[in-house]
Structure 1
Amino acid sequence: MAEAQKWWIFMWVAGSGVLLYLLAPVLTPFLIAGLLAYMGHPFVVRLEQRGLSRNNSTLTVFSAISLLVLMLPIVIIPLLERQIGVFVNNWPSYVDWIQRVALPWAQQHIGFGEHSLNLDLLKQAFVDHWRQVGGTAIGLVAVVSKSGLALLEWMANLVLIPVVTFYLLRDWGDLTEHLRSLLPRAAEPKICCVAKDCDEVLGTFMRGQLSVMLALTVIYTVGLWMVGLDLAFLIGLLAGIVSFVPYLGLIVGIAVAGTASIVQVHDLSLLLFVMAVFGVGQLLEGFVLTPWLVGERIGLHPVMVIFSVMAGGQLFGFFGILLALPVSAVLVVLLRYAHDEYLESSIYGAAGDMETRVISGSETIEKSVVGTTETALPDAPKSKAE
């Protein structure tokens, strides 16, 4: 590739990055719409394969997505508000249990200092902080309500997301074909192969792992509710959300639900049922949910999963947390291809060529020695009969 072409490619990539950075405040609805369309596109294709037209398939999938998005807040927000209220009301009981049971046990077994934790100060700080958060939230709602510009922007995004989602769902195939037609002809096969692998990995995560998280949230919530735990929905939601890290949902769920069960009934009877719920959930995840919905995982080590989420949150906030794992999965695919290219490059192949030349030279020398030996051997004497 000529130096001028490399320079123009660099300028194009740098300019695109700067443009995306400048347009970041208005890209949020388009990003959300793109994610929804990407998740719904395979269902549109399946409906088309069953005989529906493109428009009818798009309308069906769009209606299902809209219904799901509308129903989730209607169901979740009241339950979450009720569970948080229960947690706040029971907070003094949790502090008392820590003071009467947990701290004496810690002092006896691990040498935890008697004055290491001021529980009265902790209790008062929690109450004051909760009141402050409540007042801040009320004030924030009031400011947003009074700000006509912010309210109009919020309503515009609310209308824009479904509109963009519908058109992306309908025209997804045409858009991808148009982008493919713009690729350089020589590099098209390799770029399409990389894009296909990235699509498979992203599809595994976006449609598979999120489905597993949703299923585990339902399993944990229903199970904890059936055994009588007061904070069933709150703990089930927490354990389901963090289950994208292997075994983290199990550990966090048992720790939090176990503590809540002991504080609630003051014995270990409920704890046994809580552990049974998470045991059943773990078995279902390992033998049913993951093989059926995900197949193979996205190929990230658990430590890399945790690091990706923390790095994404540190660099880009909430959306960084949401996009950390998909971006990391794509980077894994790109690094895999870069690794293969390196193994086939002249840099890596130099040592291999030298080894091949040494082996070939050894074989040549060996053949030469054998040939010389065979030539040096005298012919067998002829018999007298001949």
Structure 2
Amino acid sequence: MYFHGTTKINEKGHLEIGGIDTIDLAQQFGTPLYVYDVELIRKRARGFKKTFDKLNVPAQVAYASKAFSTVAMVQLAKEEGLSLDVVSGGELYTALCAEFPPEKIHFHGNNKSVEEINMALDANIGCFVVDNFYELDLLAELCAAKKVKANILIRVTPGIEAHTHDYILTGQEDSKFGFDLQNGQAETALKQGMKSEWLNVLGIHCHIGSQIFETTGFILAAQKIFEKLAQWRDEHQYNPQVLNLGGGFGIRYTNEDEPLEPHQYVEKIIAEVKTQADIFKMTMPEIWIEPGRSLVGDAGTTLYKIGSRKEVPNVRNYLAVDGGMSDNIRPSLYQAKYEAVLANRPLEQAEETVSIAGKCCESGDMLIWDLPLPKTTNQDLLAVFCTGAYGYSMANNYNRIPRPPVVFVENGEATLVVKRESYQDLVRLDLPLNSSVKI
């Protein structure tokens, strides 16, 4: 049994996180419940930042907030001195509500709207990561209208495929993201950006995938980018201030996963950027990275109450919980795997193998296949580990199921940071058939 962060078995034989018994958390806040180990998030953030500081390398570590975006989480990122990666008006609005320093906000996305860009310009954010020619033209036009200049990074696809799931690959040539580095698109975008009086091309950005367990992909991406940077220096007199190598650093979901520690990724990235800068006799750019999952993924645990059981003789035993794809769609979306234990009886010997089903009206609503557990009753509590990234972010109201609350735990204290949705919340924006609002 492998536990992350402050998760452990307490003197009662119960699962404990952040110094608090998970049984007490479930009784106080109900289930399903997202529980975040704040100490572990801080540890992960410092693991990335301290390595840059120790090696005296100028850098920004930006939290990729798409992994888990709430006001409290953004405030925590601010406390840890992180920058922030947002990909929508909603994530930007959340950041501004959290009073996050706008100059440390980086705006991503492959289809930013006029409203979103104007919102970001009005907030005076740090930079836009420009994804396509449409955005390049639109951003320059909107900057001109406001008489303001925007910092940009040109997002490129270097043609590197990370060893990860096909659905979350982003650095290969066939991608909806970025300008292709090999076919001339990136160079054309660079020249267009440099020519505009309203844009400042701060540097280059790439992201090669997600849930990456080694550094080879980052090294190859840096090599390909520096080859082009040297060419652009000679042909266009362009020297980037920033090289953003993205995120995608993996975490341990199951014993099949073997991620590196944060400092190991950073050390290899720094070493390669230094090597490439020396090879091409270039000034070393500031290095930016964007950890998301690796900051919050293994810090999150979801608690469920066990409900119904279905036994199919000689085939499978199904055990249902009071959540499912409405609070964690990753298993249904791309067959993500998780580990779990009974929070109230984590040390008891497994007596059977069950498959954990969600309560949504979909046969594909399965959280975990073939999980060894003791014999269970409807008084038991299931704790599913490593749900901190893309659980709450992708939560939905399918079957009109309210989204769960979020609790931060640290040093024996629990703080409710997102309330549980009510049935009233579900219909709050609905209008009756005889509504006076007509189109």
TM-score between the two structures when normalised by the length of structure 2: 0.19
Decide which structure has the larger Cα Rg and report it. Answer: 1
Q: Where is the helix percentage greater, Structure 1 or Structure 2? A: 1
Q: Which one has the bigger strand percentage?
A: 2
Superposition TM-score, scaled by structure 1 size:
0.21
